[in-house]
């Protein structure tokens, strides 16, 4: 990458680069070197160019060619349980969501990796208008920075975990996402442990193997949501490309190669995938695989699909455990502020369309 850095144009986002990369191409206009460290720190603190404590002539040169702050907070909603849902607006006007969750084991940022999504899962609001575009590594880092700054001292890291479970399919934006992982774990930056990062994919098997080869210590989560290909294809179009047996093999290989347990996400949809027969089929598929089932009760995007009762959700989890799998029920947060992926963005866009017609 570094051989191309000097030729970057006006649209270049400084957050796309680590400190050594910034030094390699900014030294032509920013001197001495410690000034570049000030700029790097400003990225992590979600500052804009006019907030930099550097000479005005340097600020002018910097602003002619580079972007320090590629997004801003558009809207924040706070739940009764402390969850904060952010609509973040990019410099091109596009909007995406992220969530700040307060938990007893540390604060977590749920981050989007794309504006929209092209995977088409029937239960997810992120995909309503398809994929608009990928987020760059720097835009994802900027989202982390601005949320971090909004929840404590800008100079401190106010979160312990990141989950790539917002809008978009992370492995469909592979290069930007993996670059972001290196940026957010950089010892000069937020210095977050890889083990405190979870990446959720709907099951792009070829990309799972690409990720496996990087030998990252992140937590891989796979959205399974069905015990048969027939059921999965009805709710997840990606299932037409990759069978459950292919996913089982990828999970087995990933866990064996990385020595890391894989999390299987299973969203309960009433009358679709919530029977004890589903439990028995899941056991047959995954009984010899190093994995854990994270069962989620549906947060419906419309009235076409319904969640199960809380009692039924607990019974499903108990059945999986009784049959020999490891399973827990995920605690729901932020349901009163459209907490599920894409819901707040869809509501905002619908209101915006209504207002434009008045």
What is the tens place of the pLDDT at every residue in 29-80? 999 999 999 999 999 999 999 999 999 999 999 999 899 999 999 999 999 8
Whole-structure pTM value: 0.90
pLDDT at 237: 94
Residue boundaries of the structural domains of the chain:
2-67, 71-357
State the first-to-last Cα distance of the chain, in angstroms, to the nearest integer: 49
Which of 21, 57, 97, 230 is catalytic? The answer is 97
CA angle 288, 291, 296 (to 5 degrees): 130
**What proportion of the chain, given as a percentage, has pLDDT over 70?**
89
Please state the rounded mean pLDDT for residues 265-288. Answer: 96
Average confidence (pLDDT) over 149-172: 96
Is 23 a residue of the active site?
Answer: no
Residue 253 makes CB contacts below 8 A (sequence gap 6+) with 209, 212
332, burial (CB in 10 Å: exposed 0-12, middle 13-18, buried 19+): middle
d(Cα 135, Cα 114) in Å, to the nearest integer?
Answer: 5
pLDDT of residue 5: 42
Answer yes or no: are the C-beta atoms of 88 and 143 closer than 8 Å.
yes
Which member of 117, 124, 279, 341 is catalytic? 341
Q: What is the CATH number of domain 71-357?
A: 3.20.20.70
* Predicted local confidence at residue 343, as pLDDT: 54
pLDDT over 50 (residue 9): no
What local confidence, expressed as pLDDT, does residue 10 receive?
40
Residue 7 scores a pLDDT above 50: no
Of the given ranges (47-56, 191-200, 240-249, 317-326), which has the lowest mean pLDDT?
Answer: 47-56
Mean pLDDT estimate for the chain:
90
**Encoding tokens for residue 133?**
């575009």
Q: Write down the pLDDT at residue 3.
A: 39
Q: Is 97 among the catalytic positions?
A: yes
Other beta carbons within 10 Å of 15:
30
User: What average pLDDT does the segment 121-139 reach?
Assistant: 91
Q: Residue 357: pLDDT above 80?
A: no
pLDDT value of position 303: 77
pLDDT of residue 108: 97
2-67: CATH topology is: DNA polymerase; domain 1 (1.10.150)
Q: Using alpha carbons only, give the angle 70, 75, 78 rounded to the nearest 5 degrees.
A: 125
For residue 154, which phi and psi values (nearest 5 degrees)? -60, -30
Give ∠ CA 333-339-343 in degrees, rounded to 5: 160
């Amino acid at each position: 990458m570094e051989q191309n850095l000097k030729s970057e144009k006006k649209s270049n986002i400084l957050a796309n680069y680590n400190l050594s990369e910034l030094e390699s191409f900014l030294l032509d206009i920013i001197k001495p070197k410690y000034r570049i460290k000030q700029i790097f720190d400003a990225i992590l603190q979600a500052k804009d160019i006019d907030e930099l404590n550097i000479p005005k002539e340097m600020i002018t040169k910097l602003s002619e060619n580079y972007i320090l702050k590629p997004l801003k907070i558009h809207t924040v909603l706070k739940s009764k349980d402390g969850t904060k849902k952010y609509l973040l607006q990019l410099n091109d006007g596009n909007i995406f969501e992220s969530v700040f969750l307060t938990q007893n084991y540390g604060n977590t940022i749920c981050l989007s990796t794309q504006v929209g999504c092209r995977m088409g899962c029937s239960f997810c609001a992120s995909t309503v208008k398809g994929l608009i575009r990928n987020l760059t590594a720097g835009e994802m880092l900027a989202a982390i920075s601005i949320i971090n700054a909004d929840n404590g001292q800008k100079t401190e890291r106010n979160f312990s975990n990141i989950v790539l479970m917002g809008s978009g399919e992370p492995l469909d934006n592979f290069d930007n996402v993996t670059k972001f992982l290196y940026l957010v774990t950089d010892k000069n930056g937020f210095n977050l442990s890889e083990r405190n990062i979870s990446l959720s994919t709907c099951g792009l098997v070829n990309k799972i193997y690409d990720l496996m080869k990087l030998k990252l210590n992140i937590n891989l989560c796979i959205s399974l949501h069905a015990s048969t290909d027939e059921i999965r294809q009805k709710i997840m179009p990606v299932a037409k490309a990759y069978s459950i047996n292919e996913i089982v093999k990828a999970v087995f290989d990933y866990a064996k190669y990385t020595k890391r347990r894989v999390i299987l996400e299973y969203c309960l949809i009433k009358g679709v995938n919530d029977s004890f027969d589903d439990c028995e089929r899941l056991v047959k598929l995954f009984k010899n695989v190093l994995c854990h089932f994270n069962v989620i009760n549906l947060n419906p995007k419309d009235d076409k699909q319904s969640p199960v009762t809380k009692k039924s959700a607990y019974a499903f989890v108990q059945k999986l455990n009784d049959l020999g799998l490891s399973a827990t029920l995920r605690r729901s947060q932020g349901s009163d502020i459209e907490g599920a992926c894409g819901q707040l963005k869809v509501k905002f866009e619908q209101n915006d369309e209504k207002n434009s017609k008045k």
